[in-house]
Amino acid sequence: MSRIAVYPGSFDPLTRGHLDIIQRASKIFDHVIVAVSNNASKKNVFSVSERIEMVEESIRNLPNVDCDTISGLLVDYMRRKKAKVLIRGLRVVSDMDYEFQLASFNRRLNKDVETVFLMPDDQYTYLASSMVREIARLGAGTEQFVPSFVARRLKLKFGSPKVK
């Protein structure tokens, strides 16, 4: 039986921290699905298709990793994919309260789902997509935080900052 894991998120944008978690998960599980959320209530910078393109570009050298889109309940998606493991990244202690609540809630919805927490490399513990979006919006370079193709897309999306 294949061990299938799902790593869900908005990935808006995909960061080097996300990639670190994906690579770690690919070494542990037979198949990893990076599930890009399609949450209409969230104001994302990139469309779902743009985010999927960025993830697919980043995982092309990982043969046991695929990308998909998800809307609706995560546990329903996992049931359809026959996935039993949910991957969540933990960066800092403050993430734990929310992530533990989420893990408990998902377990109540589907007792067969196990949440596995992976920590990124120390150099990525501070890294959050919201911070990357903000510095890109303000015109700073993002190459040290995201893959180069994502940095180019951020630059195109935000352009140069407007000077008053």
Return the H-helix or E-strand segment holding 164.
none
Q: Which residue among 27, 41, 42, 164 is the active-site one?
A: 42
Its pTM surpasses 0.85: yes
Q: Which residue among 79, 91, 107, 157 is the active-site one?
A: 91
Query: What's the structural domain count of the chain?
Result: 1
Residue 163 included in any domain: no
Residue 153 included in any domain: yes
**Domain of residue 31, residue span:** 4-158
What does the pLDDT read at residue 60? 95
Q: Which residue among 26, 31, 129, 153 is the active-site one?
A: 129
Local structure of residue 40 (DSSP, 8 states): T
What does the pLDDT read at residue 97? 83
What are the residue ranges of helices labelled H in 11-147? 16-28, 48-59, 74-81, 93-109, 129-137
What does the pLDDT read at residue 163? 44
- CA atoms within 13 Å, Cβ hemisphere of 108: 6
Q: Which residue among 16, 18, 31, 84 is the active-site one?
A: 18
Residue 164 included in any domain: no
What does the pLDDT read at residue 38? 85
Cα–Cα dist 36/149, whole Å = 18
Residue 42: active-site member: yes
Residue 83 included in any domain: yes
Residue 129: active-site member: yes
Closest CA to 18 of 49, 66, 55: 55
Residue 31: active-site member: no
Edge-to-edge order in the sheet of strand 4-9: 65-70, 31-37, 4-9, 85-89, 114-118
- What are the mean pLDDT values of the chain's consecutive 10-residue runs (164 residues total)? 92 96 97 91 89 96 97 92 94 79 90 93 91 94 95 89 48
Residue 53 included in any domain: yes
Residue 130: active-site member: no
